[in-house]
Amino acid sequence: MELKNQKHLFSFPEDITYLNIAAQSPSFKSVEEAGIEGVLEKSQPYKIVGDSYFEPPKALKKLFAKIIDVDDYNRIANLPSVSYGMATVANNITLKKDDEILLVETQFPSNYYVWEKLATKYDAKLHIVAMPKTKNDRGEKWNEAILNAISEKTKVVALGNIHWANGTLFDLKSIRKKTKENNCLLIIDGSQSVGALPFSVKEIQPDALICAGYKWLFGPYGCGYGYFGDYFDDGNPIEDNWSNRLNSHKMSGLTSYQTQYKPLANRYSVGEHASFIHTKMQIAALQQVLKWTPNAIQEYCKEITADLVVELKKLGCFFENENFRAHHLFGVELPELLDIKLLKSKLKENNIFISFRGNYIRISCHVYNTKEDFNKLVSCIKSCL
């Protein structure tokens, strides 16, 4: 499938160039409509019946399962955030003194604090694999360092499919192989990749995959998803809500208390996960992502950013090697002589929205962007040199 520009599905003003979906996605028009439908439904609560609490969340799990190549939607949990999902994962891991949890340098805080806390609890150690200082084959060398750091002491490896700030690709297939050889868990934060970059649970076989839903999956802020492998099949959730118990759909018998949970990852879904407004919006969002397909999205982003990379390299900007970076999100190191304060001013004047990370800009684009958006960005950077 070859995608053409999809800006018509969004409500962007014509003068806005949005290159910051990695921070917060815009809504499709269909997601807006679904949210309004949910708001109006709340005004007529007599229309909210027993199935309203169970069927939409089930449909949502099935959609997310399809995106990440999972056969059984019961392995998916409805979550409110990455931190909630990671806390659930950590709640079911026991360590010994001097065991190691392996992370990469400058991970996003929601995939750091939880492991710092777990290490402290068991007197274990965090092993942080630093990003190589060299610019030559940096991504490749970083991956080599990660693989070399996994040992018999390693009990958990927790990282993203890509680095959230610079888009460096991590070789999850090789990392999974090494973690299996050393009998340790692989926990993936898919927040900056799932939905825009092809991902297959069948291929990678992570023990858990946790994703924010408000970025590349286009849901509202306050939603997320979790895949839990068989290691977590009989685990303990961090809360006990009524809808996760067996036979909870039989609402007339709710006080016939159940000791059993629904199968597999259902036990980990957050309370009130039927959240009627959110769920309607999420379903509309994932349906559209599946129509586009992550593979087609990645190819579209590659095509519209190809000239940008060439032009910015001429200006002295640095990019990670193409084989070790994503095309929907990547970092650009700016020339030392560039006046960053002036650049921020120029971008503001031209309604270009982008993230700064020190001497880097983080570009994150999607199917509403065009080559012309990047021509505007190049012009702004040129004017500051």
Predicted pLDDT of residue 254: 86
List, for residues 233-249, the tens digit of each pLDDT value. Answer: 999 999 999 999 999 98
pLDDT category at 289 given cuts 50, 70, 90 is very high
Which residue range forms the structural domain that includes residue 17? 7-27+293-382
How many Å apart are CA 338 and CA 378, to the nearest integer? 13
Residue 385 has what pLDDT?
87
Q: Mark whether 344 and 265 lie in a shared domain.
A: no
CATH number of the domain to which 359 belongs: 3.90.1150.10
Q: Give Cβ neighbours of residue 107 (< 8 Å, ≥ 6 apart).
A: 158, 159, 160, 164, 189
Give the model's pLDDT for residue 267. Answer: 97
Q: Which of 291, 323, 345 is the last residue of a domain?
A: 291
Q: pTM for the whole thing?
A: 0.96
pLDDT 10s digits, 22-62: 999 999 999 999 999 999 999 999 988 889 999 999 999 99
> Is 80 exceeded by the pLDDT of residue 1?
no
**Quick one: pLDDT band at residue 303, thresholds 50, 70, 90?**
very high
Specify the pLDDT at position 139: 94
pLDDT exceeds cutoff 80 at 209: yes
* Domain co-membership, 248 together with 339: no
The predicted model gives 277-287 an average pLDDT of 97
The verdict on 16 and 48 lying in the same domain is: no
Number of domains in the chain: 2
How far is it, in rounded angstroms, from Cα 227 to Cα 238? 16
My answer on whether 119 and 256 are in the same domain is yes
pLDDT tens digits along 130-163 = 999 988 899 999 999 999 999 999 999 999 999 9
